[in-house]
Structure 1
Amino acid sequence: MPRPKKQRRICGRPAFSCYKPNGVTMRELEQVRLLPEEFEALRLADMLSLSQQDAADKMEISRQTFGNIIASARFKVASSLVEGKALILKEDEQEFDNGYCNGSK
């Protein structure tokens, strides 16, 4: 039996729920789903330029787990851009932690 998945700290929310190529309807596009933890990893590592260890600490996960998450996120974004797929930013199962994100914890 696999270990239960540890809850990750997610502070960033996407501005929109999906990104897609112009001029093509969603029905015609293959979709790539980006998980909330993958979005947060991209935000911390690529937008805020945190090291993998610092970003992992913020998400309360190991550095190795963070490395796996960021690699998956980068692959999904790259394949979406290169192959013209819709990028769906999934927002279920994770809770946004206002207290933690505003620095009160």
Structure 2
Amino acid sequence: MHALSIPTWIIHVSSVIEWIAAIWLIWEYGEITGNRSWWTLSLAMLPALVSAMCACTWHFFDNAEFLEWLVILQASMTLLGNFTLLVASWWIWRASKSFDENTSQL
């Protein structure tokens, strides 16, 4: 656990907690508004959360060589997470566009 300073650990852990809270709040927003496309965003955020947990785990064990595979997993989850966030953003945009078209016809 000596790989990171205490302030850096605070940043890492609080970022993970904030990300979990954001996932939950976005999911709730989708429920409240009845717009399920927001659920895709909260699900799309999960690979990035896994990536952050990989980084914290690797640092917790002092960047041990036997856990070096976590670095590969972290990079893969970051790439996957960026792609899933792109798709979720497009999905929300598409849903809002169809919502705008439907409301303009009223």
TM-score (norm 2): 0.38
Greater fraction of residues in strand: 1
- Higher RCO, 1 vs 2 (CA within 8 Å, ≥6 residues apart): 1
Greater fraction of residues in helix: 2
